[in-house]
Chains A and B, each alone.
With several copies, the nearest count.
Chain A
């Protein structure tokens, strides 16, 4: 039983982080519902989220499990679906909400939006909306770490679709060749947009990694402990100079590919499939475990209240914040500060 290797505190930390992602994204869903109602009535809401929003609800275990094994100094980089990675890596919640609302207090000053969350202070180096595009950037960050002689680890988060890009292979092979301290975390949610992975890939994802000289492990995204365990091993290997690891985390996206609807109606994913995975909700699974360990319900309830308050505060912060001014269009072309 892998989960017995982790303390109550560790699991509680993971619980809170997953809850934060879940509640923050559920809040985004509510915001969309509200603003869409406004739009439908022909009203322009004073504050709205106007950017393509890809939610991780159902997949929280991957981001949280991996990031919990990282230090602040370690770096991560993500994709169009980056809310969970940003938050799990320690990104500022207020700055994220402000970014979604297109405000100047946003983590990217309103320049990036939902697909480009970034918080260099906690090692969140950003996200690319080009499928596969950010994978080599993580390899480069690992190369830096190796050349600088620091123990920093770099993590590339990406989806099962990204595995099909040429740059994925080039990146893994180069990382293997140079034994770079990098984790390739593939969240296999079985779909790229509406395409099932079996219609797109001839072999399993770990087999591809093997073909590129990269060690791999598959973790169950519904079981936080399983992800923690896989990540711990991979981080240890990376820090020990043993090279990269690919972690395939199997998880399921509950919502539509983009936007805030469940997409089982109009698409190929079936309601049965979704129901099966909802039964294996990573939060629910963990809470059953915590209860079995005797963690009092009150602790968890308090945590929920606290997280909800933080989310509400972040939305309030975003609403209160000013929009950028049109002149801001021309700032930030080549970075404000020196690279860290």
Chain B
């Protein structure tokens, strides 16, 4: 019995379930009660539980994050949502200096299990301030978890893990995943934070992908399969902590690794993965580890520039092919992403 559910609906269902099971769970954020419901992810809980437990907030992201922490310290389970993860930068003091450290600073006498969801924007010329993918800026602060589910199944299961766990968790969700459907069980289940998922088994090269890059990686694997290149796709799912075992085991078998990140290539999460894999598998790799990610510029607006900015499956194809065939020209942006643009719907 499969039940296809969109990523956004899976988030909404997880939230609703968590709220049903635990009266301490509540949901807040700018616009969570809008008819649009943060791209459909908050409508169901709002309809179900009303304004008392699902409420809009003033545009005061910093204090509301602090309020979430204080609520978590006193037994509530706050879930805060941001329509763009760029806005998290306003809250970094609260997230990194407070949420991530409160338990440690208190010698473990308190926990601050706040959960923060934030959407990674992309496309339709959102430009520099509405399209960042900030996992690399969050990861260097020990004490909080950072997850990036790529499927509806994981979105539900990992959000439920976060809402029942003891850690502060930031969940980054790529806007382009929201419409993708997946087989999602109805009831309560959790997906362990810190475990990667092998999305496709293969023998010639491993692509470790984050969030929406899993979609691109699967496309690339299809293309490469036709050329006789058998790609293993590992969906990292969780950035902090990340699953060194699964990643290293895969690369040990394939001998080749490409990391595909929705964030910057330089100083990105891919650097950590590359560093660890190179360290653990020293001498065992058949090719250098490559990273595919955003170039060293802010996001531009014009369609031509956006297309040049975002790497996609074509880049992955080229990169993997070069590694396997031994002719490596490195990874560069291409124009393949342009076709993803949809007509403007208001909720870009």
Contact = CB atoms under 8 A, between A and B. Distances in A.
A140 B105 contact: no
Interface in B322-348: 333, 335, 341, 343-346, 348
B98 A141 contact: no
Contacts of A52: 124-126, 130, 344, 348
A99 B249 CA distance: 44
Given A111-B105, A167-B62, A326-B305, A50 B35 contact: no
B171 interface: no
Interface string A243-269: 000000000000010110101001100
Contact of B74 (A109, A141, A328, A335): A141
Interface string B294-306: 0101001111110
A76 to B, nearest CB: 11
Interface stretch (A59-67, A143-151, A274-282, A302-310): A143-151
A298 interface: no
A94 B300 CA distance: 20
B79 to A, nearest CB: 13
A201 B63 CA distance: 14
Interface of B is mostly: loop
Interface string A142-186: 111101100010100000011011110011011001000000000
Nearest to B34: A194
Interface in A183-198: 192-195
A141 B71 contact: yes
A84 B329 CA distance: 47
Of B86, B93, B309, chain A has the most CB atoms within 10 Å of the CB of B93
A149 to B, nearest CB: 10
B75 A148 contact: yes
Interface residues of B, number: 79
Interface stretch (A10-18, A19-27, A127-135, A288-296): A127-135
A261 B111 contact: no
Interface residues of A, number: 95
Nearest to A121: B109
B66 interface: yes
Contacts of B153: none
A200 interface: yes
A339 B75 contact: yes
Nearest to A171: B63
Interface of B: 26, 30-31, 34-36, 52-53, 56-60, 62-76, 78, 86-87, 90, 93-94, 97-98, 102-113, 124-130, 142-143, 165-167, 295, 297, 300-305, 307-309, 333, 335, 341, 343-346, 348
12 contacts: A50-B341, A102-B305, A110-B107, A137-B70, A140-B66, A140-B74, A143-B71, A147-B52, A147-B71, A164-B59, A166-B60, A335-B109
